[in-house]
Structures are given as C-alpha cells and as structure tokens.
Amino acid sequence: MTSAKPRVLVLGAGPAGIAAAYRLSKGKAEAEVFERAPVAGGNSTSFQIDGIWCDYGSHRFHPVADPNVIGDVKALLGPDLLLQPRHGRIRLGGRWIHFPLKLQDALLKLPPAFAASLIGDMAGKKFRKKSTGPRSFSSVLYDGLGPTISENFYFPYVRKLWGLDPDKLAVTLAERRVSGSSIGKILGKMMRMVPGLRGATTGRFYYPKKGFGQISNAMVEAAKGQGAAFRFGADILRIERDGTRVTAIVTREDGAEVRYSADQIYSTIPLTTIVRLMDPPPPPEVIEAAKAIRFRGMILVYLILGTKQFTEYDAHYFPELSIPISRMSEPKNYNSASGPADRTILCAELPCDPGEKWWDMSDEELGRHYCDWLGNLGLPVKVPVIRTETRRIAHAYPVYDLDYQRHFETVDNWLSTLEGFLSFGRQGLFAHDNTHHAFAMAYAAADVLTPEGKVDRAQWAAHRREFEHHRVED
C-alpha cells in the first residue's frame, strides 16, 4: 500500500516559492502555489517593452551559486542560458572605471590623488585609530577599508540605496553586502580578473535570452510538469491558526471565500504581511515588532530611445549623491543585443519609498529628470526619447537599521513556534540576498520536509545557520 504524499501550500511565486514547488514536486510532496501577481518571478521577473526584454533593474545570475542550483538552471534553460562577460562602469573620483574593478584600468584611470589616498589607507591601516562607540555599517567599513573608499564609494551609495546615513545602518549590511572588507581583499579580487589568473566564469554572469525572468518561468513549467499547481492573482485574506498550529489559508475567488488546508504552509511573502494576515493575530509585541520592520522601495524608470544602442556597457554604477539613481542598465546589452534594431532602453534604479517626492511623479516628469541626470554625468541623451515607462516595487531591499535585528528576531522567534508553517526567501527571512540564495533556501526547505509532512526543525536550524553566510553579489 502506498501512503499519500504530504501536501504543501506555497505562498508567493518569486524565485523562492517557485524553487520550493519545483523541488517539492519531484516526488516529495503535492505543491500548490498562491501568488498575488498575475505572473511568476517576483522581483526577478521580466517583461517586454517594445520588443526588448526588461528586468526590475540589473539582474544577473551569478556563477558563485551552489553547483546544484546552477546545474538545475542550466538543465532547464539549455542553450537559452548565455554566459556573458561583465562590462560595466562605475564613477569614482569623477572618472569612469571598469566595474568589476580591473587592476590595470584602476591604475590608469583613478585620479592620482585618489589612488594615493587609497594606498595611504592600506599602508596606514595598522596605525589607523579605530572607531569608538556602537558598531555600525560605517564603523566597520571605516576600520576595514579606510576613509577614501568608504567616503567616496560605500557611504554615499548606501545613503542613496537605503535613505539612511551609514552610521544608522547595522553591521549586518556590511557583512552581507561588502565582499571586499579590506583593501587587500579588493586587490585580491582584482588580481583574479587578470587574464591567465582568472577562472572560466570569473568576470562573467549567466543570463537567459528572454530576460532574467526566463529562469523563473522555466522552473514554473518544470514544476507544473511534475504536478505542481499555480494560482496567480490569488488574494490571500487570512492565515488561520489553532493555537500554535497553522491550519489553513483563506483566499477570495470570484467574490467567495475559499479555504485551503495542508500539512505545511511554506511562505515566501514578506514576514510583515504574514503577521498582518494571521488569524487570530499574534501577541501585541509581535505586531509592534512587525510594524517597525521596514523594506526599501524602488522605482524602475525605463527610458525608451530611438537608437540601436546607447552605450556598450551592461550597467553604470553611480555612487555619488548628486544624482538619485544608484544604477543604470541597458537591457539589450545583457542578452547580446536581441530586440529591434531601431531602439534601446535605459533602465534606472531609483531607490525611493512611497510618499517620497519621486514616488507619485508622472512617467514623463521622471523621464525628463533622468535625461538631466545623464547630461550632468557626461552622458547626454542626443537621440530621440520615444517615451518613459516606470514600474514600482515596494519590497526591493530589507532595511537593516540599527534596531532591525531586535524587531526581526521578535517576529522570527514567534513564527518559529508555529507548527505547519515555514517562512523563507528574501521577504520571508528579511534577507538581503541574490536569486541563487533564494533558490538555496527553497531547496533546503523542501529537503527538511519529512515523508509524514512534518518539518525537521533541527535540520532547518542548521540550514538557517548556513544562510547567515550568504553574501550579495552586485
């Protein structure tokens, strides 16, 4: 006699939710995914504008991903997965430098005074007075990297990205985001870019022919083929619990309430939303903590230009505070210029929260500002601007302010007491991560499901410790 497989409801069809359904439906469980949006992919989705595949800002699949994850992505996409050379630029000291940094380029192009200060910071590290007071993003960077790179690159960049001063941001951000925590490590990375010293994927990234979202779409199709079900446009009204046991989710469909129950609910939606949807509500201190947790929003501004190509670069990085965009990408340069010959698109990432002045601005007005900013940077738009489109995402980045850890732990500890419920992914664990990390979390979540439909909590705790080592690639 064969026993029935456990049933798992997955909330959210971003990379984490999709990968969970994909892995679970490989014979381990019956999976059914509930996604609010009409399409898959979450922040990693893609869509076409005028025949050009666009992402929510620059998205690359990084070759440092776990080999299991890379193996699956390669198998799912086949020849549609391109291995592309990284070819970006960053503004440092008023000059354009290749990004990722290359030794020769940096030596030749960095302003001499800037380079001299960097060398001085490296030589003087031992003698530098360590910051006093509470540790923060700024003290860790200042002590590790010195003033030149901190003040000219990291500090203005994070101020722009998170809307907070670097001394108001937690150490975690430095740990997760800054892979070169000393000038020696940055030089080591640059050395690995030197031809002859670099590996097959150094300075390269994977990118699908039909936009980054093709990865999610391919995984959805594979999961469906294995029996997983997907419900897009799902409106989750509440998550029901009986004491510490989560029993069901309730959705609204065609005006009526529908109740779904299962052995497990795997959630990848924001943990703040989970607290809001929980019925009965969590204790007051959990509700208060969830209210104090903040996500940074972003406007993606797509400038549609009547020309074949605007620059040869995939991305431009703008650390300086004089313009509010943090990065600009030219989507055609990610998939080897596929798309119409008479136009290209420039996608700007404008970090911004609802309520800030940019949030409610019209597309045309944002487009005009965008052209002005480019002009100020020496990249004047001299070709016809066909029009501007925008997309807004409310949960772009978790905000690691100085108090976030306390609030996150209050919510996370309470969620961890619930049976039949597991929260993971970028939004579920408030993790500043890459897509391959979301996949790794989802695979781990699928692996800890027992044949009886329970979660092996000890194994999950071990995986959570591994996730602490995830480091963001830009």
Ligand X SMILES: Cc1cc2nc3c(=O)[nH]c(=O)nc-3n(C[C@H](O)[C@H](O)[C@H](O)COP(=O)(O)OP(=O)(O)OC[C@H]3O[C@@H](n4cnc5c(N)ncnc54)[C@H](O)[C@@H]3O)c2cc1C
Tell the burial category of 292 from Cβ atoms under 10 Å away from its Cβ (0-12, 13-18, 19+): middle
Quick check: 269 binds ligand X (CB under 6 A)? Answer: yes
Distance in Å from the first CA to the final CA of the chain: 51
Say how far apart CA 311 and CA 381 lie, in whole Å: 11
Minimum distance, C-beta of residue 5 to ligand X, in the bound complex (Å): 23
Minimum distance, C-beta of residue 139 to ligand X, in the bound complex (Å): 26
Name residue 31's beta-bridge partners. 8
Nearest CA to 267 out of 294, 241, 299 is that of: 241
Among positions 148, 214, 264, 427, the unique one binding ligand X when judged by CB under 6 A: 427
Closer residue to ligand X, CB minimum distance, 9 or 140: 9
Catalogue the long-range contacts made by 97-104 (C-beta closer than 8 Å, 24 or more residues apart).
Answer: 99/315, 99/317, 100/189, 100/193, 100/203, 101/186, 101/189, 101/190, 101/193, 102/190, 102/193, 102/194, 103/187, 103/190, 103/191, 103/193, 103/194
Minimum distance, C-beta of residue 253 to ligand X, in the bound complex (Å): 13
Quick check: 272 binds ligand X (CB under 6 A)? Answer: no
Say how far apart CA 224 and CA 227 lie, in whole Å: 5
**How far, CA to CA in Å, does 473 sit from each of 65, 148, 379, 434, 463?**
10, 22, 26, 7, 20
Q: Pairing mode, if any, of strands 344-351 and 295-305? A: antiparallel
Quick check: 59 binds ligand X (CB under 6 A)? Answer: yes
Quick check: 349 binds ligand X (CB under 6 A)? Answer: yes
Site residues for ligand X, 385-404, by CB under 6 A, read 395-396
Quick check: 35 binds ligand X (CB under 6 A)? Answer: yes
Minimum distance, C-beta of residue 127 to ligand X, in the bound complex (Å): 38
Among positions 46, 217, 268, 388, the unique one binding ligand X when judged by CB under 6 A: 268
Q: Answer for the pair 45, 39: CB distance below 8 angstroms, yes or no.
A: yes
Closer residue to ligand X, CB minimum distance, 142 or 154: 154
Site residues for ligand X, 430-459, by CB under 6 A, read 433-436, 438
Among positions 9, 16, 169, 411, the unique one binding ligand X when judged by CB under 6 A: 16
Stretch binding ligand X (CB under 6 A), from 55-63, 129-137, 405-413, 451-459: 55-63
- How many residues make up the chain in this entry? 474
Helix axes 137-145, 155-162, angle to 10 degrees: 160
Closer residue to ligand X, CB minimum distance, 169 or 234: 234
Among positions 26, 36, 109, 159, the unique one binding ligand X when judged by CB under 6 A: 36
**How far, CA to CA in Å, does 195 sit from each of 87, 89, 110, 255?**
15, 19, 21, 61
Minimum distance, C-beta of residue 408 to ligand X, in the bound complex (Å): 15
Quick check: 14 binds ligand X (CB under 6 A)? Answer: yes
Minimum distance, C-beta of residue 327 to ligand X, in the bound complex (Å): 8
Quick check: 332 binds ligand X (CB under 6 A)? Answer: no
Closer residue to ligand X, CB minimum distance, 289 or 396: 396
Closer residue to ligand X, CB minimum distance, 214 or 435: 435
Quick check: 426 binds ligand X (CB under 6 A)? Answer: yes
Rg (CA), the chain: 23
**How far, CA to CA in Å, does 368 sit from each of 51, 385, 452?**
23, 10, 58
Among positions 5, 23, 60, 177, the unique one binding ligand X when judged by CB under 6 A: 60
Quick check: 316 binds ligand X (CB under 6 A)? Answer: no
Quick check: 348 binds ligand X (CB under 6 A)? Answer: no
Binding residues for ligand X (CB under 6 A): 11-17, 34-37, 42-44, 56-62, 234, 236, 268-269, 273, 298, 349, 395-396, 425-427, 433-436, 438
